[in-house]
Amino acid sequence: MDFTQCASCFLYSTPPKLNPQSFQCPILSKKRVSMEVKKAFNFEMCPSVSRLNKLIVNARDGGVAEAETAVVLGKPKSTRFQISKGYATPFGATARDGGVNFAIYSGNATSATLCLISLSDLQDNQVTEYISLDPLLNKTGDVWHVFLKGDFRDMLYGYKIHGMFSPEDGHYYDSSRILLDPYAKAVISRGEFGALGPDGNCWPQMAGMIPSSNDEFDWEGDLTLKYPQEDLIIYEMHVRGFTRHESSGTEFPGTYLGVVEKLDHLKELGVNCIELMPCHEFNELEYFSYNSVLGDYKVNFWGYSTINYFSPMIRYSSAGIRNCGRDGVNEIKFLIKEAHKRGIEVLMDVVFNHTAEGNEKGPNISFRGVDNSVYYMLAPKGEYYNYSGCGNTFNCNHPFVRQFIVDCLRYWVTEMHVDGFRFDLASIMTRGSSLWDSVNVYGARIEGDLLTTGTPLSSPPLIDLISNDSILCGVKLIAEAWDTGGLYQIGVFPHWGIWSEWNGKYRDTVRQFIKGTDGFSGAFAECLCGSPNLYQGGGRKPWNSINFVCVHDGFTLADLVTYNDKHNLANGEDNNDGENHNNSWNCGQEGEFASILVKKLRKRQMRNFFLCLMVSQINYFRWDKKEDSSSDLFRFCRLMTKFRQECESLGLHDFPTSERLQWHGHAPGVPDWSASSRFVALTLKDSVKGEIYIAFNSSHLPVTITLPERPGYSWEPLVDTSKPTPYDFLPPDIPGRDIALQQYTQFLDANLYPMLSYSSIILVRIPDESA
């Protein structure tokens, strides 16, 4: 028995061996079915559907003759809302003309139903009202749309999208599922982080916020700060983790408001930009299970598993689902506004490489049920490509998907006032889409165009679109230039002159050199100069390299100097999770319980790493532990950051040349780039400080170095990581500074300086008063 589509409900494919006498159509009223069909079928009206244009039933089972009928029902009726055709743009739910317009793209759907859901009905997994969309009235091209007027107070929305369920063809339509609109501006389900839904459900029904013309936020004239990128000192922040611990002393721990309470701490540290780890809606209960090691339950803490890209993570707000999520949206806006007041930019870590729907075994939440073959990168038989390592790959260079991504980024810039984005696994955004071919992308064939799905593209349409967008070309764009499919694009990511890259090679080189590995002195010197070996040849600048030593992936800075191997046992994952390749060194003893000498060396190494970042040409760091206001590491970081910001030579727009920079070894002007060298030194002319001398000794042996002669001047120690606090950094106002400087006198008078093993120094040129 073959059935074609039956109006707004789904009736399709070839159901096996159905009995025509007992079959019930979910669309048609018995009164409106022709007598011929009524004799063969028992039709029953679906209350959610109010208009049908045509029904064709081919009945071949049990000897029933082929029948055809056309039935027209009345217009949609609603006791609450006035319904009209609506508009195909913009996508999503939009308040306008005294009502709300709903528009959703689904190129392969056969019908669609708008579901309106009250807050109380959401908890009971009920739909308050169905609005069937007529494919003749409520569809333009591949966009389904409707305009409603009425009372939307405490009302949410979703869709039932009908079509073929045929995974081998890339289609996963399931009309039993209420789907999130990919363009929804807030997602409502559970209100409290980590709390289970009704009946212990980890995946309770979700719905989108319906906007109102009364939705307003007072930005108080806020504008993006537009700092030159070479001036950025970026702090990677996990919103919940930053203030969740009771020691934070915040009124709203683990929330956007909690971060606001700690912005002054970041300002004191010298940070002028924060990068928020994923704050798009995700389900922290995605992998909810019992952890027998700690006796608690596992949650998805990082958030790299997006459910919706327009909605901020509502459970990061103190308001939760209050006011249908509007208060939560305003809370992250308040965070951004308050950061800007303090001179701190805000970047978003965005995950346009995969979604929370996973592989074919994952749930239908939004994208898969709306149009799976459009949103995901599929193989010819419907299998999911997995360049993300998370089950699916977002189909970024599909014409609609790339416009969706640009719309989302524009929204966060124009409506949320963010200053830029860091793109997780950005290399996926350079791969050819499932529908990649020259006709699909450019409208005409190209000679020799044999690209297949997932092929890296030299000029990816998505990156082109973002780079040349009138709004997005003016914000910070930072690529994590690799993916889990083996595509590694550090130094070669398509950039249009405006993209920066997370410089993973900087991280690996600096870790190797600082811990004393042979053969890295030359590569380390390149890192200090902004990696010209990677970026200068492609026409880019030092600021195109985002340098970092530690981020959320792999070891923290404390772990980096404490462990040779990872020990992720407490989370119950049997040490299988986390990065294995950390280039770490435990300084002589594994683990936190170590001798006093080892602990002192660890602190010295941590200062060495931080000093290296602060004297490199572009900087990115994370530090989220301040034990108290007198913390020696916090003090060191704060003073180093301030020194960097004062020095004109440490934030150059272009790569330093020999007119400004000179390399040295144990003797002036004689650098040692041999494989066994563990010493790198340089001088930088600086318009503010005059000249600074920087040296790193990553050997296990101490060394006495000869300083460059500067007639009429002498060298004054400023930083020595081998000294105990507060003498590791000697600002002018430190008590006893003169006494501390006298310790160096006999060496400096001879133009020498002693360096302990695993230490780094900064000296500043000053006028020689005795000359």
Burial (CB count <10 Å: 0-12, 13-18, 19+), residue 79: exposed
Residue type, 295: G
Upper half-sphere CA count for residue 648 (Cβ side, 13 Å): 8
327 is catalytic: no
The answer to whether 523 touches 514, Cβ cutoff 8 Å, is: no
Could you tell me which of 616, 618, 559 has the C-alpha nearest to residue 586?
559
Neighbouring residues of 555: CB distance < 8 A, sequence distance ≥ 6:
563, 566, 579, 582, 584
Kindly give the pairing relationship between strand 2-3 and strand 55-58: antiparallel
Catalytic residue among 286, 345, 349, 480: 480
Measured over the CA atoms of residue 397, residue 305, residue 382 and residue 484, the dihedral's sign is positive
The answer to whether 148 touches 175, Cβ cutoff 8 Å, is: no
**Percent helix, strand and coil across the chain, each to the nearest 5:** 25, 20, 55
Torsion angles phi and psi, residue 272, rounded to 5? -120, 10
Distance CA 605, CA 664 (A): 22
Report the Cα 630 to chain-centroid distance in Å: 33
Element (H, E) at 128: none
Token readout for 429 is 């955004």
Token readout for 431 is 């791969």
How many of the other CB atoms lie within 10 Å of CB of 261? Answer: 17
Distance CA 191, CA 46 (A): 33
Helix spans in 668-755 (H):
737-742, 745-748
Residue type, 48: S
Tokens 């950051």, residue? Answer: 641
How many of the other CB atoms lie within 10 Å of CB of 592? Answer: 11
Is residue 385 helix, strand or coil? Answer: coil
Catalytic residue among 284, 424, 483, 501: 424
Distance CA 729, CA 676 (A): 30
Q: Write the CA distances from 199 to 196, 321, 400, integer angstroms.
A: 8, 19, 38
The answer to whether 400 touches 186, Cβ cutoff 8 Å, is: no
Is residue 461 helix, strand or coil? Answer: helix
Measured over the CA atoms of residue 371, residue 372, residue 377 and residue 378, the dihedral's sign is negative
Neighbouring residues of 746: CB distance < 8 A, sequence distance ≥ 6:
none
Distance CA 345, CA 331 (A): 17
Distance CA 28, CA 54 (A): 10
Token readout for 729 is 């950094």
697 pairs with which residues across the strands?
679, 759
The answer to whether 487 touches 427, Cβ cutoff 8 Å, is: yes
192 is catalytic: no
Report the Cα 122 to chain-centroid distance in Å: 29
The answer to whether 106 touches 112, Cβ cutoff 8 Å, is: yes
Return the axis-axis angle of helices 504-514 and 596-615, rounded to nearest 10°.
Answer: 140
Residues 600, 602, 603, 605: what is their CA dihedral angle, to the nearest 10 degrees? Answer: 120
Catalytic residues: 424, 480
